Structure 1
Amino acid sequence: MDPSPADKPSPQPASINRRSKPQLSCNLCRRRKLRCDRKEPCSTCTARGLALSCAYPSNQAPAQRRRAPGPHETHKGRPQATVQDRLGQLEQIVVSLMQKTTSDGQDRPDQHPGASIPQDRPEDGSPEGTVNSEDFPAHSDGGNVWFSSSDAQYVGGTHWAAILDGIADLKEQLEREDHQNTEKPAMLHTFLLYGCKSASKEDILAALPDRPAVDRYISQYFNRLDLAPSCVHSGQFSREYERFWENPSQISVMWLGLLFSMICLAVLASSAADSSSSPGFRNPLVDIYREKIVQCLILGEYTKSGRYVFETLYHYLTIEYSIRKDADQDIWILSGISVNIALRMGYHRDPSHLPGISPFAGEMRRRAWATILQGDILISTQMGMPRMIKDWQCDIVEPRNLNDSDFDEDCSELPLSRPETEITTVSHLVARRRIFGALGVIVDFTASVRPVTYDEVMRLDRILNDAEVTVPTYLRMKAMARAVTDPPQVIMHRLFLRLMFHKGQIMLHCKYLNPDPATFSEAYSYSRSSCIKAALGILEIQHICDEETNPDGQLYTMRWRASSFMKHEFLTATMLLCFLARRPDALTDGHDLDQIIAALTRAHGIWMRSRNSSMEAKTAADTLSIVLAQQSVDYNVGAEGQAMNNDFALNSALPMPFPTGGLNGNGLEENFHYGFPFVGSSQMFPGSAMMDPSLAWQWQKYFGTELPHDSA
């Protein structure tokens, strides 16, 4: 029954019953959903270094905020910052890595006593003296958590994303551009986690190529890849391979999954080395074969941890990882499955303590565990998470330096390890085991939520350097010009080992970059120098990989191994140098701003070339565009009124990889031109008719003014 007219509510004008709720918080706090004390500027913006950007709606002016205008204010009491004020703000927006604020804008409390610096420093210039809590309070890394409607993600304080998050305005600008102009690529389907169509053993066998094709794939796997020594013995597999072709139906389904995983990896490597492949190309056979691998794992009930389960899982994890351009949480979940299955199978205990394991099987388990340790650290740190394996759980020793031909299933006793100066199929695995042993301790240290001391930092630094000393000479970093006769696998192992050493240095020392005069201490110059050297060294490795993975490069056949593991370290180094570019007072003796800018400029070109296929590369490229553009603006504002000359316009169509021109009296580059659009050219100059419209909003955001118009 319809209600009577008397029962119907009478409509009221919206202007009488509904009033817009007044906004009392400042615009920045409202956008970030932070607590605002309604002062002008508010405490939250002041603590974040954004006091000059703190503003309230023009139609709201609470009485408690009204005051007399200052020298650079309008009569309404709102700040009217000059260009110099904005530049001063930009010098402070990089929030200290050791002074991250909580959500209410207050600093974390310092909770630990001071620490003494040990006197037995490394020989390369470490400081002496004592540090107390008044100098620099050492506390644990808090990390960051991001929430969305469908996801919650945590990363530790040494993760590149946490470093970027500390650069408040950069992060806001990148997020704004990302939401407006980009569409994130669809995530790959991880068959083992989200399912695939079921298949029988006969169906899986029917998908296997004919023997000549499989022979070629297996040959590529053993001769072009360096994955086999990690968990597959070439002699044992060859004998099993022959038995399989004699009677394919009698082979176990899990061994069949191992075979498909080896084929799939060979296809991946072949596709990467194919000069006709575009950057985003993936051979459709990869998806077919990785689905067969998962079907074998499921049909073989992999959770029961039978024979060949770990080997197949390891290969499948490598495949899923290799086809992704960016970090993916699915890979971390897969890694956790692999680690737990390995623990259930007792891989973490040395075979000498376990009965019923032959010398051959024991040695292969040692190789497998070295691989598990490495993968756990790499994947966990890439996701910004603590590692899953703890040292106190394990007692397994490192594998021996042996070739596969030195032992087989029938040996009653393992031969003695070959000299470390001799290259074997597992030499790189042994060297990595030592570096990752030190790196694992550092990862645990930086992931700790307890207060830390500088004594412990320096103790771990010595452990890392001692591990690096044990790396054989032929696996040590050297110039590419001296490596022209070296196999590409050895060169890649060299680069990777050095990259992991620099990774440990940054994780240990990045928190001591803080240049705040209130907490600055010369006693930490060793940490600052180590961190800067490591970041520059990582970008040098990025440059080598970028050049040598080209079609005529020495690492062209290995370019599929330049994975997102390495890219993660490149990102971390990039963000740290962006931090230093905005805070040059953190630089130590032997390092200057020009050196940092040159490294970032070269890295910018590398990130730009891959920005369309990787969201992380796009983030790095966009961040560098902003930082390098601001460096150009810093020069123009500080050049004592000299306007840009015509050289910029003449050179604007010829981007250079490095800054050009000489140094002026202020130590600034004259007429320098960066290798990306619009910067260092008339297109970046405000008011120029050639200025790109997409940069107008950037100028207005940073300087709080409209672009000046060309008087002409």
Structure 2
Amino acid sequence: MPLSTTALSAPPAVHDRLVQLERLVMTLMSDPTQKANYGSTHTPAAEVGPRSGSDYGQAPVPLPGTGTSANTQVDAPIDGHSECGSMRVTASELRYVGGDHWAAILENIADLKDHFDREEQLRLANSPEELDGNNGDPASKPRSPHALLLYGCRRPTSRSEILAALPPKSAVDRYISRYFNCLDLVASSVVHGPSFLNQYESFWNNPSDAPIVWVGLLFGMICLALLASDLPYASFNNNDTEQQTLQADLYREKIVQCLIMGEYTNSGPYVLETMIQYVYVEYIVRADAGKDNWFLLAIQVNLAMRMGYHRDPSHFPGISPLQGEMRRRVWATVLMSDILVSSQMGMARMIADWKCDTAEPRNLNDNDMDENTTELPPPRPETEHTTALGIIARRRMLMALGAISDVTDAVKPSSYAEIMRVDGVLHDAAASIPPPLKMKPMASSVTDSPQVIMARLFIGHMFYKGQIMLHRRFLYMESPPGEEDKYAYSRNACIDASLGTLNIQHVLDEETCQGGQLYSMRWRVSSMMNHQFLIGTMILCSLLHRGKNLEREQEITAALRTTRAIWMRRSSQSQEAKKAAETVSIVLARVGEGRAQGEETSGLSQGMGPSANPAASTINSSELGMNLDERDILPDSMGMGFYEPDKFVMPGLLGSFTPPDQQKFSFDVNSFERGTTLDDWMLMNWPGMTSQ
């Protein structure tokens, strides 16, 4: 009998014994006396400490190693083994994720692993057709669960059939305007505005002359603009949902048909730009992470390298200054996709730094250069917000994240000195962010555009991501008794980053509501950002479950109560959100949160580690204080209302921290019944959006 079948059909008694064995092994692995190797050479703290000047950290933390004896070393490997990640074996799938993935962190909580394993067995037994994670949302049923480019779509009979799918020019004009004004993340990265305008006018004069891949680029712009449409909540209904879904799927199909008809593997003009937009579309239309996007990323990366984007254009005289500068912008976008998508899939990045030398783009507006430019003008000051400034800022953070990824994904673990060196690289990158994109309080951002505010939050989001990637492994490490605690910095950095990540989630949850400062940018809250919110959630759950960091109990518990309300509202559209909400509720119930949603925490229960209560391996829904399947508790159409931005200040990132339980508004899930608007900002297929 196959191993996967045996695992799925194992009787509960055997399953419980396996969980007990896992607890025993994990207890031995977490023995602090086996967690550190010590040498005889001292590395001064000043050589490995983090750089100052970052606006993204929280309160200052003592540097690791400060005051340690001369016999202590931090430049030896932490242990002799790397993290092996998590391997899931089922009848239909073999899936590996690295140790930094939220699912791997969740599996380290034995009680919750057992609970969700049993849930998965029941789900597969009752609904085998749901192997691809279809969450049952009515709007998602017509949509294929797979990427069209990988699994195929209907082949067009002719070029004229593709062109016939275009909306009228007046509608396309509005879509293109929305694309350049709202989708700065992709518009400035892959399309030079003035050049595109010339091509666009020529296309309407003679559509049959345009390269078919350029037509695919146009469909990509239309599709993204449709998904970023900003319609009143009142227009969201079932008919609008179906219409918007069909529209987006039609345009998505046309992008793929154009790529195939244009033989995209030949790497011709506009191919990479069209592919980047297509991959982004596939991300936006799904609430949860999809493995297909990682395979699409591999195609995108290989296309870019085959076309030489990884080498700086200055090496090739045949490339014009305009083409060279746009190639630098496009390559920065490919780097971002590689690091963020690979991390979301729990995999190492595909692009190594030693393979590429493409320079950073200049701080220029699109109007500063054209096809006749013979030499690029000098860059504008970084105090001036240009078309390229967001690309420059993201690239600097991405270069640091790439260095972090190389260290944390290595099979051979790095020394703690190397960890702290890369931590300094991350802080240097944060300090180098141009002034217009440095973090500032939301209340001080009322004159800034939603795009600028979102860019700031995203950069802060990447900083916290790097902190968690670097320091999560040291969360439970302790020095031997009587010695200086060398890992205090890493523990505090990881906890602060997790709290900061969830507070970015909170700000987005508030400000993307109708009337919020980021309402027009709500489509940007994608599964990629939610992945980091999931990691922050799982780390804080793990801390409470193990009974660690009791001195920060109230802060952690308040953050988990807030994120639980957010995940619960999204659970009807996202399997990941449902699992996160259930996980938080289990942990809060176990540590004394109580069944009442708004009940104040009475304090952490002692001895709540994995082996404290062997009988606790079976978890039932009554323990959660919630039922994720009751639509009267979690209706699909539930509004959050609008919260004034001055009532909430993010810790460290935006100022001092006001715990949610001390704020004037309530986070009781049942209290949201007062709203009548639709809270859809995390729903990726954006039901009900039609062209205006």
Q: TM-score, normalization: structure 1?
A: 0.74
Deviation track 1:312-351 (CA, whole Å, cap 9, x = no partner) reads 1011000001111111110000010000000000000000
In the alignment, what sits opposite 2:87? 145
Residue 103 of structure 2 corresponds to residue 161 of structure 1:
yes
Q: What SS is found at the alignment partner of 1:208?
A: coil
Aligned residues between the structures: 568
Residue 466 of structure 2 corresponds to residue 524 of structure 1:
no
Deviation track 1:120-142 (CA, whole Å, cap 9, x = no partner) reads 12363212233369995364222
Residue 589 of structure 2 corresponds to residue 629 of structure 1:
yes
In the alignment, what sits opposite 2:659? none
In the alignment, what sits opposite 1:119? 45
Equivalent-residue separation in structure 1 for 2:445 and 2:564 (angstroms): 27
| Shift of residue 276, structure 1, vs aligned partner | 3.0
Contact 1:271 / 1:277 at 8 angstroms: preserved in 2? no
In the alignment, what sits opposite 2:535? 572
| Shift of residue 29, structure 1, vs aligned partner | 8.5
Q: What SS is found at the alignment partner of 2:96?
A: strand
Residue 496 of structure 2 corresponds to residue 533 of structure 1:
yes
| Shift of residue 580, structure 1, vs aligned partner | 1.0
Equivalent-residue separation in structure 2 for 1:97 and 1:502 (angstroms): 28
| Shift of residue 174, structure 1, vs aligned partner | 2.0
Deviation track 1:353-395 (CA, whole Å, cap 9, x = no partner) reads 1230010100000000000000000000000000000000001
Residue 541 of structure 2 corresponds to residue 583 of structure 1:
no
Question: Structure 1 residues 504 and 391, CA, compared in 2 at 3 Å: closer, same or farther?
Answer: same
Equivalent-residue separation in structure 2 for 1:136 and 1:148 (angstroms): 33
Q: 1:46 aligns with which of 7, 15, 24?
A: 24
Residue identity in the other structure for 1:327 = A
Residue 474 of structure 2 corresponds to residue 548 of structure 1:
no
Equivalent-residue separation in structure 1 for 2:100 and 2:38 (angstroms): 20
Question: Structure 1 residues 367 and 660, CA, compared in 2 at 3 Å: closer, same or farther?
Answer: same
For 1:316-355, list aligned pairs within 5 A. Answer: 316-355=278-317
In the alignment, what sits opposite 2:559? 599
Equivalent-residue separation in structure 1 for 2:555 and 2:604 (angstroms): 16
Equivalent-residue separation in structure 1 for 2:31 and 2:394 (angstroms): 29
In the alignment, what sits opposite 2:147? 190
Question: Structure 1 residues 460 and 304, CA, compared in 2 at 3 Å: closer, same or farther?
Answer: same
In the alignment, what sits opposite 1:229? 188
- After the TM superposition, which segments of 4 or more aligned residues of structure 1 sit over 6 Å from their partners? 26-29, 109-115, 132-135, 278-281, 661-666, 677-681
Deviation track 1:552-578 (CA, whole Å, cap 9, x = no partner) reads 111111000011111000000000001
| Shift of residue 474, structure 1, vs aligned partner | 2.3
Residue identity in the other structure for 1:544 = V
In the alignment, what sits opposite 2:682? none
Question: Structure 1 residues 631 and 201, CA, compared in 2 at 3 Å: closer, same or farther?
Answer: same
Q: What SS is found at the alignment partner of 2:486?
A: helix
Q: 2:197 aligns with which of 212, 225, 238?
A: 238
Deviation track 1:445-486 (CA, whole Å, cap 9, x = no partner) reads 111001310010000000000000001222122221111111
More divergent stretch after superposition (207-216 vs 300-309): 207-216
Question: Structure 1 residues 680 and 625, CA, compared in 2 at 3 Å: closer, same or farther?
Answer: closer
In the alignment, what sits opposite 1:311? 273
Equivalent-residue separation in structure 2 for 1:241 and 1:32 (angstroms): 64
Contact 2:479 / 2:486 at 8 angstroms: preserved in 1? no
Question: Structure 1 residues 194 and 44, CA, compared in 2 at 3 Å: closer, same or farther?
Answer: closer
Equivalent-residue separation in structure 2 for 1:446 and 1:353 (angstroms): 33
Residue 210 of structure 2 corresponds to residue 251 of structure 1:
yes
Question: Structure 1 residues 135 and 458, CA, compared in 2 at 3 Å: closer, same or farther?
Answer: closer
More divergent stretch after superposition (567-576 vs 477-486): 477-486
Question: Structure 1 residues 307 and 116, CA, compared in 2 at 3 Å: closer, same or farther?
Answer: farther
Residue identity in the other structure for 1:359 = P
Q: 1:219 aligns with which of 172, 177, 196?
A: 177
In the alignment, what sits opposite 2:449? 487
Contact 2:217 / 2:273 at 8 angstroms: preserved in 1? yes
Larger Rg: 1
Contact 2:369 / 2:376 at 8 angstroms: preserved in 1? yes
More divergent stretch after superposition (603-612 vs 142-151): 142-151
Question: Structure 1 residues 512 and 364, CA, compared in 2 at 3 Å: closer, same or farther?
Answer: same
Contact 1:402 / 1:424 at 8 angstroms: preserved in 2? yes
Residue identity in the other structure for 1:126 = L
Q: What SS is found at the alignment partner of 2:45?
A: coil
Residue identity in the other structure for 1:266 = A
Question: Structure 1 residues 407 and 179, CA, compared in 2 at 3 Å: closer, same or farther?
Answer: same
Contact 2:43 / 2:74 at 8 angstroms: preserved in 1? no
| Shift of residue 304, structure 1, vs aligned partner | 0.2
Residue identity in the other structure for 1:127 = P
Q: 2:15 aligns with which of 23, 26, 31?
A: 31
In the alignment, what sits opposite 1:695? none
In the alignment, what sits opposite 2:438? 476
Equivalent-residue separation in structure 1 for 2:265 and 2:214 (angstroms): 15
- RMSD of Structure 2 on Structure 1 (CA): 3.2
Q: What SS is found at the alignment partner of 1:522?
A: coil
Question: Structure 1 residues 117 and 369, CA, compared in 2 at 3 Å: closer, same or farther?
Answer: same
Residue identity in the other structure for 2:14 = R
In the alignment, what sits opposite 1:674? none
Question: Structure 1 residues 332 and 136, CA, compared in 2 at 3 Å: closer, same or farther?
Answer: closer
Residue identity in the other structure for 2:588 = L
Question: Structure 1 residues 398 and 273, CA, compared in 2 at 3 Å: closer, same or farther?
Answer: farther
Question: Structure 1 residues 111 and 154, CA, compared in 2 at 3 Å: closer, same or farther?
Answer: farther
Q: What SS is found at the alignment partner of 1:523?
A: coil
| Shift of residue 191, structure 1, vs aligned partner | 1.1
Residue 511 of structure 2 corresponds to residue 561 of structure 1:
no
In the alignment, what sits opposite 2:572? 612
| Shift of residue 496, structure 1, vs aligned partner | 0.5
Any gaps of 5 or more consecutive residues in structure 1? 1-25, 37-41, 50-91, 100-106, 636-647, 667-676, 685-712
Any gaps of 5 or more consecutive residues in structure 2? 1-9, 53-59, 135-143, 607-620, 628-692
| Shift of residue 680, structure 1, vs aligned partner | 10
Equivalent-residue separation in structure 1 for 2:391 and 2:266 (angstroms): 28
Equivalent-residue separation in structure 2 for 1:511 and 1:336 (angstroms): 28
Question: Structure 1 residues 148 and 582, CA, compared in 2 at 3 Å: closer, same or farther?
Answer: same
Deviation track 1:92-128 (CA, whole Å, cap 9, x = no partner) reads 9xx85999xxxxxxx9x99997885442123632122
In the alignment, what sits opposite 2:113? 171
Contact 1:515 / 1:583 at 8 angstroms: preserved in 2? no
Equivalent-residue separation in structure 1 for 2:16 and 2:587 (angstroms): 23
Contact 2:478 / 2:487 at 8 angstroms: preserved in 1? no
Deviation track 1:225-273 (CA, whole Å, cap 9, x = no partner) reads 2121101000000000011111111111111111111111111111677
Residue identity in the other structure for 1:119 = A
Q: 2:336 aligns with which of 374, 383, 394?
A: 374
For 1:441-460, list aligned pairs within 5 A. Answer: 441-460=403-422
Q: What SS is found at the alignment partner of 1:153?
A: strand
Equivalent-residue separation in structure 1 for 2:294 and 2:600 (angstroms): 44
Question: Structure 1 residues 275 and 576, CA, compared in 2 at 3 Å: closer, same or farther?
Answer: farther
Question: Structure 1 residues 403 and 143, CA, compared in 2 at 3 Å: closer, same or farther?
Answer: same
Residue identity in the other structure for 2:15 = R
